Structure 1
C-alpha cells in the first residue's frame, strides 16, 4: 500500500513537470506591474503575501493564459515623497503597465497624478478616502470600498441607539479628513448634534493625545465618540482613553471600517483598552475557497522567515488578493502584446517628470479592469464607477481579545442576521433587535444613560414620591410626573436609557435643583418643575404637560341660613315689585268685570277696595271665597292661576334650597383687601411662588408663611392663621378635591407655563421630548388614565351636600318676564273688550238727549253712574240706588227706579 501511494505521487509529479515544460515551450508574454507598499506595516506586509499567493493560485487555475503578471515591489514606507519616487521609478525605468498601490490616501493623491500623466492605471486596494474620486481621476481605480459607503450604516447605528450627540475623533490626514464632511451631513439628516470634534495629527505623541482627551472630557458633556483613524494612531488613542477614565461605564465608542478591519495585529494591551467598543467593517461572505486560503496562509505565515508585521489575515489582504486576480484577468482580455511607452524626452534621470513616457495600453487596460467581474475571496468583485461596489457591513463588539458580530447593515437597514441573498433578515431601526453588546465598563447598560435629578418632596406625593428600597437602597420613584415621563419615553422614536438620582440638599428649592444641570451633575430634571422665565436662563424646558397659572385659596363662610330676612331672598327686589303690581292689577280687572253683575263685588267704596286687594292676594294660596260669573273674569283667572302656581313653586324651591343646602361665600375675593388689612398669606415651601408674592404682588416677606403639605394648608386656613394660600393650580385642585366644601379658588390667575421637564441648554432631546409630550397629552385615554391613577380617589368631596356660590341666589324678573307678559295681555284684553261692549251699549242713550247741551265730562259721569248700578238683566237682584252723587248737568235724564230700562241695554246678561 505504501509503495502504491509512492507511485501515485511520483506520477503526479511527472505530470505536472511535463505540463510546465509544455507551457514553457509556448510564447508566454510577461506584463510588468508595479507594487508600491509600506512593507513594514500590517497592511503592506499582508498584502504582499496575499498578492504572491494570488499570482500562484490564478495561473495554477488558468495555466492556459498567454500572459503572466510580473510584480515589481517597491517599499515606500509611510512617506508621501518616497511613494511618489517609487512610482516614478517604476513608470519611467521599468515601464510598468499598472501600479498597485500606494497604500495610503495621501500617497495615492500624488501617485494618481503621475499615472494620469503617463496613462498608467493606478489601482489601490487601501486608499479609501472620499477625497480620491475615480470620477475626477480617469486613470485611478479603487478595488476597495469608498469610506462613504459606511456613513449611512454609522448614522443608522447612532439613530438606533437614540444618541442625540456625538463627537468625532479623527486624524489630521487625507484619510481622516476625507470622511468627516459626509459624516456630519448624515448626522444632520437624523438630527444628531456634533457639539465638538477632535482632530489629532498622525505624528502626535502619547502625551499630546492624553492632553487632547482630557480637554475633550472636561469640555464636552457628550460621552459618545466615533473614531476614524489608522491602526497605528488608533491603538495609541485607546490606550490613553483608558488611562483617562473614558472607557468606563457611561461611555460609548464606535470605530470605522479602517480601524475595525485591523484588530488582529494589535497587542493585548490595546485590545484590553478597547473593551466594549463597537466597530463597523465590510462583511466577507463565507466560502470554501476562503477557508482553504486561510489554511494555506496560516501555513505560510508559520513557515515564513520574512520579518514583517503580518500576524493575521485582514480585509486589505483579501482586497489585494482580488486585485491581482482582476488585473490578471484584465491583462489577458486586453490582449497586451509587447506594449511600449512612447518617449517624450530622453533623460537619464530617474526623477525627470518631463521624460516620462506614455503607455500605449494604459486606457485599454483601465477599461478592461472596470468591466471585470468574478467571485473573489472578499465577495463579489464588481466595480461601479471604477470602485468596488459597497456590500453589507457587519457590526462588531470587541470583547476580550476578539470581537463578536452583533448585527448587520445593508441599505435596507439593521438586523441580527443576513439571509441567503446577503440582505438583512428584517430591516429595523431599533437597537434592541440587535444582539446585546457589552459596553465599556463591562456592562449591558447602554451608554449615555441620563442622570435624571428628581426632587425629594415632603408633601403632595401624588405628583412625585421618592422612596428608598430597604435592601438595595435604590430609589423608587412614583407619582403623576414620573408616570407622564415614562409615557413620554414610550412615545419617543428611539430608546433613552436613564437613571433617577434623588436630589437631597439642605436647600430643597427647585431653582437649586435645576441649576445642577448647568453644573453638569444632572442630565435632566423630572418632576413638578414649573416653567418660569428666570429658570430658562440656565436650562431648557420642554412643552408643559400640566395646567398653568398661580391662584389663591380662601376659606368659605356660610352666613345664609342665619339671615333674619332670608324669606325675602328667593325673589329679587324687581321681581317682588312686579309680582305685587300684577296682583293689584289682576284684582282691579276682576272687580271691573264683576262689579255690575256680581253682588260680592258691590258695597261701600271702602269694602270694594278691600275686596279688590283681598281677592287678588287670596289667589296666592287659592283661598278666595268670591265667585266670578263673568266669562271674561274666568278667562283672566285661568291665566292668573297658572302664573301664581309658577311663582309659588319657584319661591318654595328657592327658599327650600337656601334653608337646607349650605351656601358658602369666599371670605376674600381681592388680593388688595388682604394687603390693606395686613393679613398673612401662605405659600408652598421651596416654590417660586414666594418670589411672585414679594416681587409681583408686593407682599412684605414678614407677611408670608411657608407650608409643605395639604394638611398644613387646611390647618392654617381653618384656624385663620392666614387669609389665603397662594399656589399653582394643579396643587390647588388637588387640595380642593379633599376640602371642596370649605375652601375655594378665587381672584385672578397669575400666568405661568405649567410643569415641564428640564434639560441642558441646547439639548437635542428637548424637541423630541416636547413632541412626545404632545402625543401623550392628546391621547385622552392614556393621559386620563395617568391622572385617574393619582387623582381619581380625591375627586369626592368630604361634604357632598355643600355647594359653593359666590353669586346671588335670588330669582330675577327676567326669568319670569314671559309669564308676566302673558298675564298682563290676558287681563288687559279682557278689560278692553268688556269696556268696549259697555260703551257701545250705553253711549247712544246718552247721545239722544240734547248731547249738544251736555259737556263730555257730564256724559262721562253719567256713564259712571250707569256702571255703578247693578245690571238689571241679572236675575233675582233688585236695582240699588246709585252711589255716584248727582251733578247739575242739564238735559241729562236719570233713570227712575220704577221704570224698566232693560230695552236700553244689551240683551246679553254677561259682559
Structure 2
C-alpha cells in the first residue's frame, strides 16, 4: 500500500521494503536554515564561525515507556561531540491544546492536504487499480492545498520556502553551573568534562622558576607555579573551549614524563620540556613557546675598564709571550725560505704557520674533550645524553647536578670546569650569578620549549594556534621579562669569553708548540745550508773585503795615534 509520511525526519526502511513511500513534509534542511538565520541574526556583525553540526529529534511521549530516560540518552550522545550550544525547537510551533478550529497549525493543514492527495488519486484511478497505479497518480498530484503547493519530485514534496512564525523566545539564560558569564561554545572531543585532563609537571627540575611544586599541609596537597605554568594558563584562556585539567607532579626525568604521555598514564605534560627529534616517537609537541639551544657557561672575571682589550684575557701572559715568539720565529723562517728560492718550502712554512694559528684558537669544547675536563648539567635533562652521544663526552666526566644553586659550588670546588644549559636556563642562571660566570662558544640550535600531547592529538594543533596568539599580543615577552627580572640579583651585565676559563695557559697546547717549533727549526737549518752553498763565492768575497777593511782601519788608527803623540 502507498504510505505518506508527514514527519520532517522520518525513520524509514530501505526503499526495496517500502517501494511506495511518499514524503509529504519539508526537508529538515529548511528547519535548519531557519535556525541558522536566527543564530546569524543574534551574532550581529561579529564573525564567530557558528554552524549547525548536528540535529536530533526527541521521541514523542507516547512512543516510549520512559520518556525522560530516552531524552537523557539522546542528550548524552550530543555531549560526546564537540558541541556546547544547543537550540531547542518545539516540533509544532503551537501545542495541540492551543490549536483552534479557525486557526490550525501547519501540521494539521498538511494532514488535510495528504488526505486530499489520496482522495484525488483514487478519484482519477479505475476501481480495480493496483497499488502501483494509485501511487503513480499520487506522484502526479499538482494542486494548491491549505499548506501550500502540493507537487512531488522523486517521491518527495517539491521544496518551497515556508514562512516560520516565532511564537516565544525564552528571555533570561541560565548557564550550567550558575555561571554569570557566557561559557565557551564548544569543547574538544578528546576528553570528558567530568574527567579533567591529567597534566604532568616536572617536580625535580633544576630550575624551579619554570615549574615549582609546593606542598601545603593545610590542604594536604600541592600547588604548582612557575613561568611555564603561567604560559600554559595564558594559552588555555585563548582556546575556543573550556579545558578542565589538573596538574600532577611527576618525579622522574623529562624523558620518562614524555613516555608517560605515550602510555596514556598522563594526558599531557607541561614544563620546560625541550622539543627533541627522538621524543617524537612517543608524543606530539605544540608550537614552541620559548626558543632554545644548548650553550656552555664557564667562569669569567670581566673588567669593565678593560672591555676594549678583553681579548687579551683569552691567554695568560706566558701563553701570549710564547705565542708571539713562536709566530715571530715561524715568520722569519718563511722569509728565509722565500729568499732561498724554494717554493715548496715556502708553501710548507705558510701552511705550518696557518695551522698553528688555527689550532691556537681551537674551540674550547674540543679542549674540554682533549683534557678530559669535567662538565656539569641538569640531572633529569636530555643534556646528559646529548653530551655523550652528540658532543662525545665520556660519561665519567659528566657531573649530574640537581639544582641551579649547586652550580657555583661545583665550579668553586673544581668539580666542573664548564656547565651546559639550554639557553633559557642559562639566562636565568646568569641573571642570578652574573658575577664570575659567562656564556661562551656557539649555540647548538634546538627545538625550543613546548607542551607535550599524545600522538595524533588535536590538542597539539589547537595549543599551537593559541600560543601564537599569546606571542602576537605581546604577552609572552612580558612573561619572559618578568621571569628574568624577578631572578636578577646582579647589577652588572654579563660578559662573553671565548676561553675555557678567564685565561688559557700553554700547558694544553705544549705538545703543539714543541712540534711546530721543531719543524720550524728543521726548516730554518735546511734554508740556511742551501743559502750558504748557493752564495759561497759571494760570502768569500765579502769576507776578504771585511779583512781588507779591518787591516786598513787598524793602520790608519795607528798613524793617528802616533801623530797625536808628537
What TM-score do the two structures reach when normalised by structure 2?
0.60
Question: What do the CA deviations read for 1:218-277 (whole angstroms, capped 9, x no partner)?
Answer: xxxxxxxx9xxxxxxxxxxxxxxxxxxxxxxxxxxxx95234656983439956984973
Cα distance, 1:142–1:702 mapped onto 2, change above 3 Å: same
Determine the structure 2 residue equivalent to 1:483. Answer: 230
Assess if the C-alpha contact under 8 Å between 2:8 and 2:25 holds in 1: no
- Aligned-residue CA RMSD (Å): 5.2
1:712 Cα offset (Å): 0.7
User: Cα–Cα, structure 1 residues 423 and 363, in superposed 2: closer, same or farther, change >3 Å?
Assistant: farther
Structure 2 counterpart of 1:517, from 261, 265, 290:
261
The answer to whether structure 1 residue 543 and structure 2 residue 320 are counterparts is no
C-alpha separation between the residues in 2 aligned to 1:99 and 1:384? Answer: 10
Partners of 1:152 and 1:518 lie apart in 2 by: 42
| Structure label with greater radius of gyration | 1
For residue 784 of structure 1, the aligned residue among 460, 477, 488 is: 477
The verdict on how the C-alpha distance between 1:391 and 1:537 changes in structure 2, with shifts beyond 3 A counting, is farther
Residues 646-694 of structure 1, C-alpha deviations (whole Å, 9 max, x = no match): xxxxxxxxxxxxxxxxxxxxx9960111121121111111100011110
Name the CA distance, whole Å, in 2 between partners of 1:372 and 1:434: 43
Taking a change above 3 Å as real, the CA distance of residues 281 and 479 of structure 1, as seen in their structure-2 partners, is: closer
Tell me if structure 1 keeps the 8 A contact 2:64–2:70.
no
CA distance in 1, matches of 2:255, 2:163: 53
1:455–1:527 CA contact under 8 A, matched in 2: yes
Where structure 1 has 5 or more consecutive residues not aligned to the other structure, the ranges are: 1-86, 91-97, 116-121, 123-139, 157-188, 193-225, 227-254, 295-318, 374-382, 393-418, 440-444, 574-666, 808-911
The question of whether the paired residues in 1 share the 8 Å contact of 2:184 and 2:242 is answered with no
Partner of 1:713: 407
Provide closer, same or farther for how the CA distance between residues 363 and 112 of structure 1 changes in structure 2, counting only shifts above 3 A.
farther
Do residues 451 (structure 1) and 144 (structure 2) align? no
Contact 1:488 / 1:769 at 8 angstroms: preserved in 2? Answer: yes
Residue correspondence of structure 1 range 455-854 to structure 2 within 5 A: 455-504=202-251, 508-557=252-301, 670-780=364-474, 782-797=475-490, 800=492
Residue pair 1:145, 1:387 contacting (<8 A) in 2 also: no
**C-alpha offsets along residues 472-496 of structure 1, whole Å, 9 cap, x if unaligned?**
3343111110111111122223332
Partner of 2:549: none
* 1:368-383 mapped onto 2 (5 Å cutoff): 368=145, 371=148
Residues 631-654 of structure 1: CA deviation (Å, up to 9, x unaligned):
xxxxxxxxxxxxxxxxxxxxxxxx
Q: Alpha carbons of 1:555 and 1:767: their partners in 2 closer, same or farther (altered >3 Å)?
A: same
Shift of 1:741: 2.1
Shift of 1:142: 2.2
Q: 2-side partners of 1:363 and 1:741: how far apart?
A: 95
- 2:46 matches 1:109: no
Alignment of 1:244-263 (within 5 A): 257-259=56-58
Q: Summarize the alignment of residues 283-294 of structure 1 with structure 2, pairs less than 5 Å apart.
A: 283-284=89-90, 290-292=96-98
The reply on whether 1:363 has 2:57 as its aligned counterpart is no
Q: Is the 8 A contact 1:682 1:726 kept in 2?
A: yes
User: Is residue 86 of structure 2 the alignment partner of residue 277 of structure 1?
Assistant: no
| Greater RCO, 1 or 2 (C-alpha within 8 Å, sep 6+) | 2
Deviations 1:10-58 (A, max 9, x none): xxxxxxxxxxxxxxxxxxxxxxxxxxxxxxxxxxxxxxxxxxxxxxxxx
d(CA) in 2 for partners of 1:366, 1:433: 52
Match of 1:327 among 111, 125, 140: 111
CA gap of 1:748–1:533, structure 2 versus 1, over 3 A, is: same
Q: 1:728 to 1:148 in 2, by over 3 A?
A: farther
Deviations 1:712-742 (A, max 9, x none): 1111112221110111111111111122120
Deviations 1:390-410 (A, max 9, x none): 979xxxxxxxxxxxxxxxxxx
Contact 1:145–1:389 at 8 Å: present in 2 too? no
Question: Which of residues 334, 338, 342 in structure 1 aligns to 2:126?
Answer: 342
Q: Distance in 1 between matches of 2:184 and 2:468?
A: 32
TM-score, reference length from structure 1? 0.39
Contact 1:146 1:387 (C-alpha < 8 Å) held by counterparts: no
Query: Partners of 1:519 and 1:724 in 2: how far apart?
Result: 36
Equivalent position of 1:267 in the other structure:
66
Cα deviation for residue 499 of structure 1 reads 1.8
Structure 1 residues 784 and 111, CA gap change in structure 2 (3 angstroms): same
Can you list the C-alpha shifts for 1:509-537, whole angstroms capped at 9, x where unaligned?
11110111111122211100000010011
